[in-house]
Structure formats: structure tokens, C-alpha cells
Structure 1
């Protein structure tokens, strides 16, 4: 899901229009993905390894079958040492196969728990907020609108002055408009719509002062 030049222009124009009525400053960021989730792949690989051991424990005959592949199939049943070695090799192979399978990014993302994706998106948004918006304005009136495309998740994080007057649930309409548009394949429209709604909230609580200046860039930032 890519944003076009027209999307960039639409979001930038929405930010400029929204900030015309408020002292608030809106920073818009779109990321392709918030995290690589390599640790999730590792967890699945470990689970696959344990599953292999569980199968061998449930059906011990599998050990003899696997052992016969590398040993003389007409020999006696494997010794305890040979059986444990076979189980260890089977577990290692299972781990490597799962690890290789989850090298595929789309599969890794699809099998990442929703709660994990939500935490990672929130963490990345907070990092960007501290870098790009937090206390970067004269009156601490910066807002970050962050969209992570792969996860279909977004975050709105407000600076101290805004947070003290506006409860997080007030951003619900903006978030809903953005997510619906993203699911419809219209991320540019969603970002622009969300910016307009954020601007209305800011204008209500922080109307524009006569000496207000544009302190943060209006352009859409792509990561």
C-alpha cells in the first residue's frame, strides 16, 4: 500500500489548513512497518522444536523410524543414547525449518499476536514523538499522527499542554476515520481526514494566537 504524490500533497494541505486555526502543531508520519518481529519468529521456532519433542514423546516409535534412516534398519532398537541423539537432531531440524519458514516477512507479521503489534506500534510512535514533536513548540502543543501500514494501526500522541486539556478518547473520531480509510486502501484520504479532525479539537482548546508561527514541518514524513 503506497502513498502517491497526490496523497502527500493532500496531507500537507490538510495540516496547513488545520494549523491555520490553532496554536497546535501537527506532525504526520507514515511507516511501512513498525518492527521486524524477529523475536516472534524465534518464539515460533522454539515452539516448533518443542512440538517435535512432544511428538516423539507421544509416539516413541517415531524415534526408531528416524533412527533407521541413518542406521541399519535391520539392527536392534536404538539404545537410549542413540534415541536421545535422534530426538536432539529432530528438534534441531524442526527449529531450523521453522526459523527458515518465518524468515518470510508476511507470514511472520500474520502470526504475530495483535497485542504484540499494538505494543510495537505504540513504542515506535512514542519514540518518534519524542524526536519530532515533544516539547519542540513554544507552548508544548505538538501532536503526532502516526500510521503503520503493515499493521493497519495508528497512534495519536499529544504534547503536555494538549494532554492536560484533551483526554485520549477525544481522538476517537480521527482514529476511526483513519483506520477505515486504510482498510479501504485509501491511506492518504484517511490521514488528511484525521488531520482535519485533530485540527478541530486543537482549535477548540488552543485557538490561534496573533503571534503564532509555524514551528514544525507540515509535510508528510515517510519512513
Structure 2
């Protein structure tokens, strides 16, 4: 879900229109994915490899279930016991390895990766990525600390609005919820440009109310949306 040149122009125009009524600065970022979540897939695969093979034990786990493992000559019953135990351990390890690889590969399917990753982790990593973009684009060094970042992560299905301390100290943090909802709705319906425009309009309204234009009102941050 990438934006074309027309979409970028619409978002830039919405930012310019919003900033005409305020001394605040608005910047937008659309990310494809903020994390591969490979560590989460590995954790699930390791847990599955440890736990799922245990289900074989109540069923009377026997290496003979796996053709070729226990085939061979045994000298005598007592002498063969250590060999049988080693076969059982070896087969169990192979089963664990097979479960680990199978679960890991399944969880690398994007839809399953998202479903297997707790929402709290996706939210935290999206917030970290958004904060990185906030700092990288200089929204923390505006003259009156009135920068706002509107950030969306497509694959993670997360939206963040980050306001600098000049705004954060004067506006209830919950007021950004409408902007988050508007952008989320647009993304969910496959209309990212519409979502960003709606979010920008809402954010601009809040900024205009609390931070009207100053006599000297330079444009400190480019009016545009960045895709990463």
C-alpha cells in the first residue's frame, strides 16, 4: 500500500493548510514494517520444540514409530537397553528439531507473524520507530518545541502520534486519539492518503486552538510525507 505522487501532493497540501493556522509543525511518516519480529518467531519455535514433543510421552513414545531408526541387530535384551535409550533420545531430539524448524518457518509467514506477536510488543516497537523518526527529522528542535509526528506502520497495523514537549505540556494526550482513529480507518480501508489528510486536519485543529501563528512563523520542517 504505497502512495503515488498525487497522494503525496495531497498530504503535503493538507500539512501546509493546517500549518497556515498554527505555529506548530506537522510531519508524516509511513513505514512498511518497523520490525521483522524474528526473535518472537524464534521464541515461539523454541517453546513449541520443548513442549509439543512431550505429548508423545503419554502415548508411549517408541523410536520404532520412526522407520529406520531402530532397525538393526541387538545382541541381547539387557545389553541392548543402553542402545535403545540412546535411540529414543536421538529420535526425541530429531522430533524437537523438526518441530522447531516447522513452527519457525510457519511463523515467518507475514500474517502469522503478526498474529503470533503480542499487540503490546508491536505497539512498543512502533513507538520506538516513531520516536526515531521524530528525532531523525528534527521535530525536537523546532523553536518553540511544537513539532508533531504522525506515524503509521502498515505491516504492524499500528499508528502513533508524537507531540513535542511544548505541545505535550499543554494538551491532554488523549486528544490525539481521534487523529489516530481517523488514520487507522483510512489505512484499514486501503485509503492511506485520505487517512493522513483526516488525521492532519484534526491535529491541525488542535494546534490552531492552542498555538496560533506567530508574527514570524517560519516553516521549520518540510511539509511532506516520508515512506520508509
Residue range with higher mean Cα deviation, 204-213 or 83-92:
83-92
Distance 2:185 2:225 in 1: 19
Structure 1 residue 49 displacement after superposition: 0.5
Instruction: Name the counterpart of 2:200.
Output: 195
Distance 1:176 1:61 in 2: 52
Structure 1 residue 51 displacement after superposition: 3.1
What aligned pairs does 1:84-95 form with structure 2 within 5 A after superposition?
84-95=89-100
TM-score by length of structure 1 reads 0.92
Residue 15 of structure 2 aligns to a residue whose secondary structure is helix
Structure 1 residue 74 displacement after superposition: 8.6
Structure 1 residue 124 displacement after superposition: 0.9
Cα pair 2:70 2:87 within 8 Å, conserved: no
TM-score by length of structure 2 reads 0.90
Structure 1 residue 132 displacement after superposition: 1.8
- Which residue, out of 143, 150, 162, partners 1:145? 150
Structure 2 unaligned residues grouped into runs of 5+? none
Residue 68 of structure 2 aligns to a residue whose secondary structure is helix
- Number of residue pairs matched by the alignment: 222
The alignment yields a C-alpha RMSD, in angstroms, of: 1.9
Residue range with higher mean Cα deviation, 45-54 or 170-179:
45-54
Structure 1 residue 141 displacement after superposition: 0.7
Instruction: Name the counterpart of 2:68.
Output: 69
Instruction: Name the counterpart of 2:108.
Output: 103
Structure 1 unaligned residues grouped into runs of 5+? none
Cα pair 2:69 2:87 within 8 Å, conserved: no
Instruction: Name the counterpart of 2:26.
Output: 26
Residue 79 of structure 1 aligns to a residue whose secondary structure is helix
Residue 185 of structure 1 aligns to a residue whose secondary structure is coil
Structure 1 residue 106 displacement after superposition: 3.3
Give the greater-gyration-radius structure (CA). Answer: 2
Distance 2:84 2:117 in 1: 40
In the alignment, structure 1 residue 44 sits paired with structure 2 residue 44: yes
| CA gap 1:101/1:45 in 2 versus in 1, 3 angstroms | same
Distance 1:174 1:112 in 2: 25
Cα pair 2:29 2:226 within 8 Å, conserved: yes
